[in-house]
């Protein structure tokens, strides 16, 4: 059973570490796939994905993909 917070709760909208890591992992895989499954760029893909997910940079498709998958 998952606890649902009221929109007025201070923690509403925050994600846990496991969900954040999952989002980064999925985005890194999308970047790997977009590059034609090119090996040797795993760290670059992970760091780019993390920056996009954390909102540091805006990826060209990350926000569109997250919206479509929900």
Q: Tell whether 56 is covered by a domain.
A: yes
Q: Tell whether 54 is covered by a domain.
A: yes
Q: Tell whether 61 is covered by a domain.
A: yes
Task: Please state the length of the chain.
Answer: 70
Q: Tell whether 35 is covered by a domain.
A: yes
Q: Tell whether 1 is covered by a domain.
A: no
* Residue with the larger pLDDT of the pair 38 and 63: 38
Per the CB < 8 A criterion, the answer to whether 34 and 28 are in contact is: no
| Number of domains within the chain | 1
Give the residue from 12, 21, 10 showing the smallest Cα distance to 50.
21
Q: Tell whether 11 is covered by a domain.
A: no
pLDDT classification of 55: cutoffs 50, 70, 90 = confident
Per the CB < 8 A criterion, the answer to whether 53 and 18 are in contact is: no
Chain segment 19-45, per-residue pLDDT in tens: 889 999 999 999 999 999 999 999 999
Domain containing residue 41: 17-68
pTM for the structure as a whole: 0.65
Q: Tell whether 5 is covered by a domain.
A: no
């Amino acid at each position: 059973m998952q606890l649902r917070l009221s929109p007025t709760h201070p923690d509403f909208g925050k994600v846990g570490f496991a969900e954040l890591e999952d989002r980064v992992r999925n985005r890194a895989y999308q970047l790997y796939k977009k590059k034609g499954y090119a090996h040797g760029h795993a760290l670059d893909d992970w760091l780019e994905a993390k920056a996009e997910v954390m909102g540091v940079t805006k990826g060209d498709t990350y926000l569109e993909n997250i919206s479509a998958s929900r």
